């Protein structure tokens, strides 16, 4: 469990430490793969926008959620080929993503592709830190008739805002973006852009920055999902 915790910390830290001067050196598309059975393979494309060669590593992790947190675990059920590639200046390459397990898909399966630009030892200088680019791409495998998300929401006051918890009893993930908490039309907390995913049969929590006190025991949730804009009611818990 300790190694798993360290892996999670390193993924989060590396993602946060992308240097702005290197932010365009490695590009990846698409930013999500959503594959329906019997489709078991797809590709991502990687580009090098630097004026020097870069080495790229591609790894796949099984993605689940426990106690409201994302968990990544090594897996051989889905693989990337090639796992390591060298991109010449201005070059590009296709990476094949393949579900290799023959186990039938029972519910939506979730994975993360981690695409890293590897540090170049020749550019390392004493007393300096080289920050490189990391991309984290969601991958989903499901049946064409997989039931959708079925979320229930709760919130509680925390320092600096509100903790929003979503329990999804459906079998498909819910992507949440541009989230706002409103009390009779008044915005108490807001987070623009991608907030996160709550996977099927899982729970996820996020802290949304904001201020102000609610006037009652519920708040209105407004957000964007892959299916479009939605509204929901969230009960306010203690805390």
Evaluate whether the domain defined by 151-236 bears CATH number 3.20.20.70.
Answer: no
How many residues are present in the chain?
239
Would you kindly state where each structural domain of the chain is located, as residue ranges? 2-142, 151-236
SS3 120: coil
Q: Sorting pLDDT into bands at 50, 70 and 90, what band is 21?
A: very low
Distances (CA, A) of 3 to 40, 72, 73, 117, 134: 30, 11, 10, 22, 20
Tokens of 140: 């989903």
Full-model pTM: 0.85
Indicate if 151-236 has the same CATH topology as 2-142.
Answer: yes
Round to the nearest angstrom and report the end-to-end CA distance of the chain: 28
pLDDT of 7 = 52
Of 162 and 15, more confident: 162
**Residues 182 and 220 sit within 8 Å (Cβ to Cβ):** yes
CATH ID of 2-142, from 3.30.420.310, 2.60.40.10, 3.40.50.2000, 3.90.105.10: 2.60.40.10
Provide the 8-state DSSP code for 148: -
Task: For residues 42 and 95, give the distance between their C-alpha atoms in angstroms, rounded to a whole number.
Answer: 9
Q: How many CB atoms lie within 10 A of CB 199?
A: 24
Residue 51 has pLDDT above 70, yes or no: yes
């Amino acid at each position: 469990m300790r190694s798993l915790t360290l892996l999670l910390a390193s993924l989060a830290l590396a993602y946060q430490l992308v240097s702005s001067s290197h932010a365009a050196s490695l590009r990846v598309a698409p930013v999500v793969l959503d594959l329906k059975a019997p489709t078991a393979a797809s590709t991502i494309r990687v580009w090098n926008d630097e004026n020097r060669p870069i080495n790229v590593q591609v790894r796949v992790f099984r993605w689940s959620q426990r106690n409201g947190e994302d968990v990544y675990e090594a897996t051989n059920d889905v693989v990337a080929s090639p796992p390591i590639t060298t991109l010449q200046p201005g070059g590009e390459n296709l990476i094949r993503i393949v579900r290799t397990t023959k186990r039938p898909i029972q519910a939506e399966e979730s994975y993360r592709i981690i695409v890293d630009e590897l540090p170049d030892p020749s550019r390392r200088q004493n007393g300096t830190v080289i920050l490189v680019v990391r991309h984290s791409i969601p991958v989903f495998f499901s049946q064409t008739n997989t039931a959708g998300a079925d979320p229930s929401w709760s919130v509680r006051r925390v320092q600096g805002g509100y903790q929003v918890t979503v329990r999804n009893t459906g079998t498909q993930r819910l992507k949440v973006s541009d989230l706002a908490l409103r009390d009779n039309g008044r915005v108490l907390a807001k987070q623009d852009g991608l907030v996160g995913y709550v996977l099927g049969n899982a729970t996820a929590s996020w802290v949304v920055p904001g201020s102000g006190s609610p006037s009652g025991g519920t708040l209105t949730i407004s957000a964007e999902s892959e299916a479009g804009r939605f509204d929901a009611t969230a009960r306010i818990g203690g805390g």
